[in-house]
Amino acid sequence: MVKDRLHPPFGISSKKKEQEFFRIFREEPLSHTCYLHWYLAQTPRLVTYNFTLNPLDYIFHYENKYHLSSERIWPLMKKIRWFKTNSVLIFNDSSMWPSIQERFENFRSLETNEETNTFNTYITFQLSTETFNPGWSDLNSVIRFPNDRIKIPKRYRHLEGGIGYGYLKGNEIVSFAAAPHILQSKTHSFAIIRGIETKILERKQGYSHKTLTKLCQEILIDNLITTIYLWVENSNKVAIKLYKKLGFVEDSKIYATYCDRKSG
């Protein structure tokens, strides 16, 4: 790690311990840590991190998100002030929930942004050329962004920067999917798909299937990316059925909640 690219961990002066931390971190399931790897590689100045003497116990902070590895990281909260209001906590083990409740409040759902007092359970999926099942050949109405004729809808502007596709019906985009996070390096080759959405009145007509087919084709076949990852809410059975139809394989589960840190 280049020292000026990341904030140094609190209380850790040994470069050897830092190297050991990142060595073990790289061995964790990529379906869980794909976002972290992308940010570390692409926009390292947006990332802060801290870890205990055990390299498996860490906190990563990027944007308003905090990736927590275990309950043993809580003593670090007394030494750092990253956690703020309107934060997203991401954790690998659901048994952390009681201790999270002790330290945070105002829990909301990431999917609906409603008060829920609980957390979201996500299934992580991955897709490769070996499992990819396109299913569609007629993809003429699926357009790529940026596009000279049609502007990307405002609600998807935060997903610009990678590859995005939309299903065009008339002059309107009724279905959209994007891969804003793509990493092709000596050690990693993956893309993360986000922002998959079809207008309510346009659903069950295959638009999402076609849009995702085109997007996955460009990522895997044209760009030769090895793996595509996505996270989907456990309760979204319709989406899960679609992803499996495309060839996505269920990998594991991860948990997240939108909340505020308790004062004091």
The answer to whether the beta carbons of residues 132 and 246 sit under 8 Å apart is yes
Tell me, what's the pLDDT at 113? 62
CA dihedral sign of residues 122, 126, 132, 134: positive
Tell which wins on pLDDT, 101 or 149: 101
48 versus 127: the higher-pLDDT residue is 127
Residues 79 and 189 in one domain: no
Structural domain includes residue 235:
no
Kindly tell me if the per-residue pLDDT of 2 is higher than 50.
Answer: no
Residues 144 and 165 in one domain: yes
**179 and 79, same structural domain?**
no
CA-to-CA dists, residue 88 to 59, 104, 200, angstroms: 12, 11, 26
108 and 45 belong to one structural domain: yes
CATH (domain of 172) = 3.40.630
Tell me the per-residue pLDDT of 90-99, one tens digit each, with 9 for 90 and over: 999 999 999 9
DSSP code of residue 132: -
56 and 75, same structural domain?
yes
Q: Indicate if the pLDDT at residue 153 is higher than 90.
A: no
Domain-located, residue 97 = yes
Residues 99 and 169 in one domain: no
Nearest to 1 by CA among 16, 12, 118: 16
Q: What share of the chain is helix, strand, coil (3-state, %, to 5)?
A: 30, 35, 35
CB 31 within 8 A of CB 191: no
Find the helix or strand (DSSP H, E) in which 229 lies. strand 227-233
| Mean pLDDT score across all residues of the chain | 87
Dist. CA 216–CA 177, nearest whole Å: 10
CA separation for the pair 9, 48 (Å, rounded): 9
Domain that holds residue 204: 129-225
Q: Are 117 and 24 contained in the same domain?
A: yes
Q: How many domains does the chain have?
A: 2
For the full predicted model, state whether its pTM sits above 0.85: yes
In tens, the pLDDT along 216-252 reads: 999 999 999 999 999 999 989 999 999 999 999 999 9
Task: Mention every residue, 6+ apart, whose C-beta is less than 8 A from residue 7.
Answer: 48, 49
In a domain, 113, yes or no: yes
Specify whether 102 is located in the same domain as 43.
yes
pLDDT at 127 over 60: yes
- Asked if residue 88 and residue 63 are part of one domain, the reply reads yes
User: Contact, 246 vs 126, CB < 8 A?
Assistant: no
Question: Cα separation of 144 and 141, whole Å?
Answer: 10
Residue 209: inside a domain, yes or no?
yes
161 assigned to some structural domain:
yes
**Same-domain pairing of 145 and 112:** no
Grouping H, G, I as helix, E, B as strand and the rest as coil, residue 207 is helix
Q: Is the pLDDT of residue 14 over 80?
A: no
28 and 60 housed in the same domain: yes
Q: Is residue 214 part of a domain?
A: yes
Whether residues 71 and 14 share a domain: the answer is: yes
pLDDT per residue over 194-211, tens digit each?
989 999 898 989 999 999
DSSP 156-205: GGGGTTSEEEEEEETTEEEEEEEEEEEEESSS-EEEEEEEEEE-GGG-SS
Position 7 in a domain: yes
- Beta-bridged to residue 66, according to DSSP, are 61, 89
Show the tokens assigned to 134.
């396109």
Let me know if residue 154 belongs to a domain: yes
